[in-house]
Structure 1
Amino acid sequence: MQSTKRVALLVISCLTYSQFLLASEQSESKGFIEDSKWNAHARSLYFSRDFKSSHNTGQSKRMAWGLGLSTVFESGFTEGTVGFGLDAWGLQGIRLDGGRGHANAAMDVTPVGDSGRAAHDWSQLGGAVKARISNTTIKYGNQFVSLPILMTDSSRLLPESVTGTLITSKEIENLEINAGHFTAISGAHSTGHDNSGYPSAYYVGMKRLDFIGGTYQFTDNLATSLYYSWNKDIAKRAYGNINYTYPIDNQQSVNVDFNIYHTDYDKKYVRRTSEGDIDKSINNTIWSLAGKYSYDAHSFIVAYQQSMGGWYGHGYDYGSGYGTNDGGSSIWLANSYESDFNAKDEKSLQLSYELSGAGIGIPGLAFKSAYVYGWNADTAAYSGGKRGKERELFNQVSYTIQQGAAKDLAFKVRSSFYRATNRFSYGDNNELRVYVDYPLDLVALIKNNK
């Protein structure tokens, strides 16, 4: 009942301030079909992790290669004071390689049974109903969410999804408010809506996650965000962000991005995920500050990140199935790559470089290289309380075809070379991901063929 009251109060508040906006999204609605979107997407993903240390549960290499097919239909809203709509989607995964011996559920690519065999194919359907009044939308059902305290991961073969209610309000100019009540999460390799894809009782699962927050755009160059979430029997979490860009001239700019999370873990979650008996909640605060200098096609980034508090090797805990069940990408911090550098009391420093191909006459090309070094991590869970160190060299290059019959076909290669001391985390690892993505606008295709 409390979550329902929070949602109702938010809607009333948003409508009260609707006069601050000059136009209403609902008043400009063209109809259920006229404003609809229908997209299809095909992805081929090769994903491998080659472990260089022997203590990783006896599995020296994990590998998966699959084909992911998805289609998403998003209707417009019916005309009138209150508009109604419907979203629906379907996912199909096909394993091309990566059977028993190389398969592992922790890679989040294919479903893996107790026998160690990966599924040959799997599928899932989902949908949501929605309503809009003025500039406020309410959606209920199976959906994809992209917020700092609940973000469904789309970096694997198929995306995660969550089930519940999401309110998005833009009644006040330059302010977006989000509120949600969710009761289930479906992992990237799951076939149902009430689990994260992990069968073991060790994993906690989502019981109920409520949140509220928003982003205010002060100017074109300055924005702030603030969110708070209640994750039943797991954690209470707050998030803040300040992002500012200073334009030096037409070719140069400096960007500063500050992110911070504070988490108060529930003692039930701590006990369940610890080897020892913990009789109280353990808090964690983690923050990152990144400075980015851009000149034409080139960008240079320096970032510092610090995690304070946690338990038994845990610092900032997030994720799906094996974490706090708030989505596999709910970590909006600077030093998050293959490793997140988020252990208890860990500090880390990043140096990175980015290249935009458009600036050198190759539109569609992008490149990034980053080196992150972490130290002072409390590795009690791995090595008897020694201070752990880790480092990662991350490289990614991508290219999207800009025109012709294969327009929008995208290629991306991502690699990480990870090393750790004191048997920290899962040990040394070389990771490789190769993506081939082809999105297709089915509505545009139908119109062009008429």
Structure 2
Amino acid sequence: MKKATLALAVAGGTLGLSMSEQAAAEFFKDSKANLELRNFYMNKDFRDDTAPNQQAKQEEWAQGFILRMESGYTEGPVGFGFDVLGMAGLKLDSSRQRSGTGLLPVGRKGDVPDDYSEVGLTAKLRASKSELKVGTLMPKISVLDFNDTRLLPQTFRGGNLQVKEIPGLKLDFGYLDKVNYRNSSDNEDMAMITSGRRNITLKSGAKNEADYFAYAGATYQVTKGLSASYYFGELDNLYRQHYVNFIHVLPLGPGSLNSDLRWARARDAGDAYVDNDALGFMTTYSIKGHKFGLGLQKMQGDTGFAQINGTNPYLVNYIQVSDFANEDERSWQLRYDYDFATLGVPGLTFMTRYVSGDHVELGNGSNGKEWERDMVIGYVLQSGPLKNLGFTWRNATMRSDFVRDVDENRLIVSYTLPLK
């Protein structure tokens, strides 16, 4: 596939020069592979009477296959390796009238193909405690968090250098030039999200397209219970973003208190109007299988939160349906988790949360509000021939006075089969 050309070229050159017989032994000795199976049903029922010409329901069912093969590194001061990511999605049930869940691709005429697939190749190099990867990447950092909430994960094409030479300090540098969305098999130009009431617009004649996304950042373990990170990201000619994050864990009585403080600042970088400061704080107290959480989030500036299209926004109030990231939006969250292992049922978990947002800038001096309630029940088999087989039900109810109301259900059966 053409998306693999960059990785193949690098891999062929590096591996061909470095693979002696002894080095190859280490290359295969430390390799690992697994096949993840995902059976995914999703239903979105729009609960409004004001959109007679719009789709009333989105409902699809699909089977996904994700093959991950990771080599070890060749011996020597500089080691070389190679990774393969193969993914395929099969349609089990869909139609023109019910497509659009994000599980499957949708053609120009609304047709849904029977299947789609892709192959991602990554060449990697390791020297001391530093690692360079070139090819298919799935970054998970504050300025870019890849999306893995549907059948197949979102991927990017580019390079990433991670440096861990100083104890407690991790440095990240990256350059990406293409994105492959979670329900697509093609690499595309990156763009930013402009939907909802984020009120992010483009300058006259400009296109929502970027040649690259570059980022750099550092995470430092300040103390045993405190970590701090700073990242900078730039989407070519569209926006620049700074992101600061502090995470603190404090033993408190018989439990522990986890605090997560996030601050982001984004401004336009040429062809877009972006002006946003996002502040978020989540605190969670854990005790004997229980977790009690409180989250607060506020958007300031002339626009909402800036991010690459299709990615997960790194926000405390980003949940199943909404992210509460519109212009001027203020939101709060209450969350409760329980692990039934405390009652002698390991593998069974429960989560529920409620988020309410208001003060959304709608124009003409009016403000909007929204709320969402989520519930997740999951169970993973702990033993037997089907150990690690997982079942998850995700349910959400979202109501708003500026976007369509929706009730949503996701049923996921997953199993990862070790191949090596």
Tell me, yes or no, whether TM beats 0.5. yes
Indicate whether 1:94 and 2:97 are aligned. no
> Are 1:306 and 2:295 counterparts?
no
1:112 corresponds to which of 92, 95, 106: 106
Q: 2:176 — aligned with what?
A: 182
Q: Which runs of 5+ in 1 are unaligned?
A: 1-28, 270-280, 319-323, 444-450
CA distance in 2 between counterparts of 1:431 and 1:206 reads: 32
Question: In 2, distance between residues paired with 1:225 and 1:240?
Answer: 6
CA apart distance, 1:206: 4.1
2:339 corresponds to 1:343:
no
Q: For 1:99, give the aligned amino acid.
A: S
What is the letter of the counterpart of residue 256 of structure 1? S
1:264 paired to 2:267: yes
The SS at the match of 2:271 is: helix
Matches within 5 A, 1:61-210: 61-104=57-100, 107-195=101-189, 204-210=208-214
- One-letter code aligned to 1:316: F
1:293 paired to 2:285: yes
- Name the counterpart of 1:278: none
Distance in structure 2 (CA, Å) of the matches to 1:149 and 1:352: 25
Structure 2 unmatched ranges of 5 or more:
1-23, 193-204
Match of 2:3 in 1: none
Match of 1:25 in 2: none
- Name 2:406's counterpart in structure 1: 429
Distance in 1, Cα, partners of 2:399 & 2:331: 14
CA distance in 1, matches of 2:289, 2:350: 11
* Distance (whole Å) between structure 1 residues aligned to residue 331 and residue 243 of structure 2: 20
| AA aligned opposite 2:305 | Y
Q: Distance in 2 between matches of 1:43 and 1:129?
A: 27
Give the Cα–Cα distance (whole angstroms) in 1 for the partners of residues 169 and 342 of structure 2: 32
Measured at CA, do residues 405 and 195 of structure 1 come closer, stay the same or move farther in structure 2, by a change above 3 Å?
farther
Within 2, Cα distance between the matches of 1:208 and 1:197?
Answer: 10
Aligned pair partner of 1:356 in 326, 329, 339? 339
Q: 1:315-359 CA deviation, whole Å, 9 max, x = no partner? A: 1132xxxxx34x522324244331101110000011111111222
After superposition, the CA RMSD in angstroms is 2.2
Matches of 1:370 and 1:85 in 2, distance apart? 42
Change (3 A) 1:352 1:398: same
Deviations 1:109-157 (A, max 9, x none): 1110111111110111110111010000000001222111112111110
Tell me by how many angstroms 1:34 deviates: 1.0
Q: Displacement, 1:195? A: 4.9
Q: Deviations over 1:355-391 (max 9, x none)?
A: 11222221111111001110101123xxx55200101
**Gap change, CA 1:137 and 1:404, over 3 Å in 2:** same
Q: Which amino acid aligns with 1:347?
A: R
How far the C-alpha of 1:291 sits from its partner, in A, is 1.5
Matched letter for residue 88 of structure 1: V
TM-score w.r.t. structure 2 length? 0.87
Residue of structure 1 in register with 2:197 after alignment: none
Following the alignment from structure 2 to structure 1, what is the Cα–Cα distance between the partners of residues 280 and 107? 38
User: What's 1:405 paired with?
Assistant: 385
**Matched AA of 1:437:** S
CA distance in 2, matches of 1:428, 1:364: 33
TM-score (norm 1): 0.82
- 1:442 matched to 2:419: yes
Amino acid at match of 1:120: D
Match in the other structure for 1:416: 396
1:202 is displaced (CA, Å) by: 10
Matched with 2:255 is: 252
Matched, 1:236 2:228: no
Shift of 1:192: 1.5
Q: How many angstroms apart in 2 are the aligned matches of 1:365 and 1:197?
A: 39
For 1:448, the equivalent position in structure 2 comes to none
Distance 2:315 2:237 in 1: 23
Query: How far apart, in 1, do the equivalents of 2:238 and 2:168 lie?
Result: 33
Deviation, structure 1 residue 55: 4.7
289-298 or 29-38: bigger deviation: 29-38
TM-fit CA distance, 1:257: 0.9
* Structure having the larger proportion of residues in strand: 2
Q: Is the 8 A contact 1:176 1:214 kept in 2?
A: yes
